[in-house]
Amino acid sequence: MASPSSSSFPSRKVARVQALSKIACRRLQKELTEWQVNPPAGFEHRVTDNLQRWVVDVAGAPGTLYTGETYKLQVDFSEHYPMEAPQVIFLHPAPMHPHIYSNGHICLDILYDSWSPAMTVSSICISILSMLSSSPAKQRPADNDRYVRNCRNGRSPKETTWWFHDDTV
């Protein structure tokens, strides 16, 4: 099971005030165009005029515990995208999963330590769907209550130091 620990790093919330850099803006426009032509199966981007925040509908894959269920992901991009991973959370209600906290925070290495600028929103979505699909049981992480209690006041999941030690679900 994945476990978060308190971060000793200064707060690094995703910047909302700063505009996207030219690199980030071009990259996101390219990804959005590719998404419109060839969206990943089971996902729908809710079109808005805000390139810095995407809301994506996630449909549970057929034949899994999440069949027939739909969830919403919120993807926030900083001015440093794609060099820095976007902040990705599930909006309420978050799916019951051993690596998804009830506040929507997701413990998935590619969103933090294993991020690569070669990754895209589509690849993130496919990884999240794969994680959901491989779950043998709908349950919260064992430390859900403690973690959520410590994340009050809108703390970003990027402020958490995650321990990735369970890749079975």
**From 25, 107, 125, 151, active-site residue:** 107
Residue 115 three-state SS: coil
Name residues whose C-beta falls within 8 Å of residue 167's C-beta, 6 or more positions apart in sequence: none
How far is residue 154's CA from residue 143's CA, in Å, rounded to a whole number? 18
How does DSSP assign 131-145, residue by residue? HHHT-SS----TTHH
- Look up 125 and say whether it is catalytic: no
Determine contact, residues 100/94, Cβ cutoff 8 Å.
Answer: yes
Instruction: Kindly report the length of the chain.
Output: 169
The set of catalytic residues is 107
